[in-house]
Amino acid sequence: MTTSQKRFLLIVNGKSAGNAALREAVAEQRKAGMPISVRVTWEAGDAIYFAEAAADMGITHVVACGGDGTVNEVMNGLMRLEASRRPAMGIVPLGSANDFATSVGLPLEPTEALAAALTLVDYPIDVVKLSAENDSESATSYYVNMMTGGFGAEITSSTPKMLKRMLGGGAYSLMGAVKAWRHRSYRGTLHWADQEESASLLLLAIGNGRQSGGGQVLAPNARLDDGLLDVLVVRDFVTASAVPELVSELQDFPSDGRFVRYLSVDALSVTTQPDDPPWPLTLDGEARHYRRFRAEVVPLAIRAVLPDNCPLLSSADQG
């Protein structure tokens, strides 16, 4: 596709609509002849609607301008379209954590990030379908980066948004330190392939990407286009004397350590303990609570604008 055939729609998180650097970058790109339309969100769900509607506008590239939550909404909007009608997705990171944009190597400043979104090549990548249930409701949604459950999700959901914006990834570390002194176990049964494990967990992470919570690498071997989920299971500990061993295992990511288990699968189901509260989960940083859920790969579902040397593409292994 040549530049003259491209049409761009920027979906800007309303909280970033006044970003002076972004406004200036858009003005400069328009002067240079780039066909750019802009929509600004007002409330949750707007980015989903705008992204879904983009196909009928003749848009070829939708650019999510916001944090990981905005990227998630835009991607969910694209997934409502037939695969052949989905525009490619670019990103201008304007959030507090920007985990996905950081991990794939995109620029973090608005001017450079917009230029990248308008000029770099798009690559096919996987997304993850999450089917989840509570006692009286069920839901299906998608994520592109990471789902965390248990302790990690509790940190993300309990960190005030203003604190996130003030401290960036440091806000998550601060809340983590506070929560560590009074954490609870998350009991459940994990099912994958022909295997099953019942355990009390501290943390569960299911990654299509590699990092979450403002820079915490939880799935170091993840690839966006390999058809697999990278799963990190951190079992709970009883006494503080176990912490050094747990921390050591979190640096090595063993396939089946005493506290840490790291595996790659195409799908994983979790059933929580019936008499426990629903687990806190985050999908690309957005909070949820579910009793039962299943994550499965949708291979090469969307096209994302990424650097040629993106470390999360399988081609990086051959470089």
pTM: 0.89
For 88-137, the DSSP string reads: EEEEEE-SSS-HHHHHHT---SHHHHHHHHHHSPEEEEEEEEEEEE-SS-
pLDDT, averaged across the chain: 88
**Any domain includes 318:** no
**Per-residue confidence (pLDDT) for residue 237, from 0 to 100:** 78
Do 134 and 115 fall into the same domain? Answer: no
Do 289 and 245 fall into the same domain? Answer: yes
**Any domain includes 281:** yes
pLDDT in tens, 278-312: 998 989 988 888 999 999 999 999 999 999 999 99
Do 41 and 8 fall into the same domain? Answer: yes
Q: Which residue has the higher pLDDT, 225 or 242?
A: 225
| Tally of CB atoms within 10 A around 301 | 19
Distance between CA atoms of residues 210 and 208, nearest Å: 7
Residue 132 reports pLDDT greater than 60: yes
**Any domain includes 243:** yes
Beta-strand pair 211-212/186-192:
unpaired
Do 145 and 202 fall into the same domain? Answer: yes
Distance between CA atoms of residues 14 and 16, nearest Å: 5
- Tokens in use for 78? 């694209």
Active site residues: 286
**Residues 283, 295 contacting (CB under 8 angstroms):** no
Do 160 and 234 fall into the same domain? Answer: yes
pLDDT in tens, 184-217: 688 999 999 999 999 898 889 999 999 988 888 8
Do 113 and 167 fall into the same domain? Answer: no
**Any domain includes 201:** yes
* Structure letter (DSSP) for residue 319: -
Question: CATH number for the domain including 257?
Answer: 2.60.200.40
Do 86 and 216 fall into the same domain? Answer: no
| Last-in-domain residue among 120, 155, 185 | 120
Do 143 and 276 fall into the same domain? Answer: yes
Do 135 and 208 fall into the same domain? Answer: yes
Do 115 and 136 fall into the same domain? Answer: no
Question: CATH number for the domain including 48?
Answer: 3.40.50.10330
* Structure letter (DSSP) for residue 227: S
**What is the domain count for the chain?**
2
Question: What's the rounded mean pLDDT across residues 257-280?
Answer: 93
3-state helix, strand, coil in the chain (%, to 5): 35, 35, 30
Do 110 and 148 fall into the same domain? Answer: no
**Per-residue confidence (pLDDT) for residue 152, from 0 to 100:** 58
pLDDT in tens, 152-178: 565 554 444 443 443 344 434 433 443
Residue 134 CB-half CA count within 13 A: 11
Q: How confident is the model at residue 183 (pLDDT cuts 50, 70, 90)?
A: low
**Any domain includes 306:** no
Question: What's the rounded mean pLDDT across residues 252-276?
Answer: 94
**Any domain includes 96:** yes
**Per-residue confidence (pLDDT) for residue 242, from 0 to 100:** 78
CA Rg, the chain, in Å? 20
**Any domain includes 181:** yes
Query: What's the domain range around 267?
Result: 128-299
**Any domain includes 305:** no
